[in-house]
Amino acid sequence: MPIKQKTWGIILSMNKKLSPYFIDLTQDACLKAFWRKDSLRKFLAQHGISQNFLASWSPEEIKAAFLRRLFSALITRKDLVGHKVIFKISQSLVEMKSFTDLSGWPDSDEKIQNAYRAVEKLRIEYDKVNNKIEEEKQKSIAQKKATENREKIIYSCQSLEKFQNQLVDLLKMVGTQRAGYDFENWFYEFAVFHDIPASKPYKDKNGRQIDGSVTIDGTTFLVETKFTQQPIGSQEIDIFESKVRRKADNTMGLLVSISGFTSEAIKAASCDRTLLILIDGNHFFNLIFTQKMSFKESIQNSLIHASRTGISYLPVGDFQEPLP
């Protein structure tokens, strides 16, 4: 076995054998780029050729004969590892800028010219093979990505259905304190499912209530969820807006009401530089669960609408995909 075991994991990815012509060019360039046996032996060892195989090189065996024996052993392997090692050797040869092992001899100029010509012929074929390998690699990546996307879509559909069913079950208890707590937990799990950084509300060691939040595109949204039977009125808007205004800059408020908002509440939340975004049950059931838009996109679109119009609430029927 001419190849070091540890080399297998670092050689290039290939799924086809090299052509006999390419292998001959690599062998010829390898022969002409080195004059001393020790230099060639060191070069081959650096490319994964085992010490046992190199030790089989007797003083009487000329370089050309040894390289024929080595390359023959590499290409007769049942797997592609031998071809990969040859390709790695060719890569190092075409990257050579000088041939120091050929200096200091009476005919050094001729030896160096022969080496340059051999490497240049190899370089032409190397570029062809390398481009083909890269094309196949990109094709493989694209196929893998397409498969992952299909699996992600299937998972997303199944998970959205699960979240929808959970919300439908919660609606049977709408207006109860227990359902309010459960809806809050449901909301934060839903945000995490959509890869939105979220922090649930909690009490610190001093008993102080820490508000929950989500972060979208660098903006932190203070979150308040409402799971009441009636739409939220302007009084709740005023209380929540006051809380948001006490927070740091770049903090907005996201008020999520399953039963929606009164017209007075929407008016109270809206102004030239509104800090609030309003989301209700219609956004979940008629926009997100139907996959017309993701949860994150629905908030992004609502935010764009608010920045343009000053109106905090964007009805489902007014959503456009995508907004510029």
CB burial readout 263-299, b (16+ within 10 A) else e: eebbebbbeeebbbbbbbbebbbebbbeeebbbbbbb
pLDDT band at 200 (very low <50, low <70, confident <90, very high): confident
168-178 residue pLDDT tens: 999 999 999 99
Q: Looking at residue 57, what is its pLDDT? A: 95
Of 135, 156, 3, nearest in space to 77 by CA: 3
Domains (range + CATH), the chain? 5-138 (no CATH), 173-318 (3.40.1350.10)
* Helix residue ranges, H only, the chain: 20-33, 37-46, 51-55, 63-75, 81-94, 108-171, 177-193, 234-245, 263-269, 281-283, 295-309
pLDDT band at 153 (very low <50, low <70, confident <90, very high): low
Question: How much of the chain, in percent, has pLDDT values that exceed 90?
Answer: 66
Average of per-residue pLDDT across 256-261: 96
| The token pair that represents 108 in the structure block | 């050094």
| The token pair that represents 179 in the structure block | 């359902």
CB burial readout 128-147, b (16+ within 10 A) else e: ebbeebeeeeeeeeeeeeee
Whether 10 has a pLDDT exceeding 50, the answer reads no
Whether 252 has a pLDDT exceeding 80, the answer reads yes
- Full-model pTM: 0.54
CA distance 186 to 158: 16
What is the identity of the amino acid at 35?
Answer: W
Whether 59 has a pLDDT exceeding 60, the answer reads yes
CA distance 67 to 32: 11
Q: Looking at residue 14, what is its pLDDT? A: 55
Q: Looking at residue 221, what is its pLDDT? A: 94
Q: Looking at residue 324, what is its pLDDT? A: 43
Whether 6 has a pLDDT exceeding 60, the answer reads no
Whether 279 has a pLDDT exceeding 70, the answer reads yes
Q: Looking at residue 229, what is its pLDDT? A: 95
Residue 286 is classified by DSSP as I
Average of per-residue pLDDT across 290-305: 92
**Are residues 237 and 205 in contact, defined by beta-carbon separation less than 8 angstroms?**
no
* pLDDT, the chain, mean: 88
CA distance 71 to 23: 8
CA distance 117 to 109: 12
What is the CA 55 to chain-centroid distance, rounded?
45
Q: Looking at residue 307, what is its pLDDT? A: 92
Q: Locate tokens 């090299």: which residue?
A: 18
Whether 33 has a pLDDT exceeding 50, the answer reads yes
Whether 82 has a pLDDT exceeding 70, the answer reads yes
CA distance 111 to 100: 11
Whether 79 has a pLDDT exceeding 50, the answer reads yes
119-134 residue pLDDT tens: 999 999 999 888 887 8
pLDDT band at 135 (very low <50, low <70, confident <90, very high): confident
Whether 11 has a pLDDT exceeding 90, the answer reads no
Question: How much of the chain, in percent, has pLDDT values that exceed 70?
Answer: 90
Instruction: Report the relative pairing of strands 202-203 and 209-210 from DSSP bridges.
Output: antiparallel
Q: Looking at residue 2, what is its pLDDT? A: 66
Instruction: Determine how many CB atoms are found less than 10 A away from the CB of residue 98.
Output: 10
Whether 12 has a pLDDT exceeding 50, the answer reads no
Average of per-residue pLDDT across 88-113: 94
pLDDT band at 108 (very low <50, low <70, confident <90, very high): very high
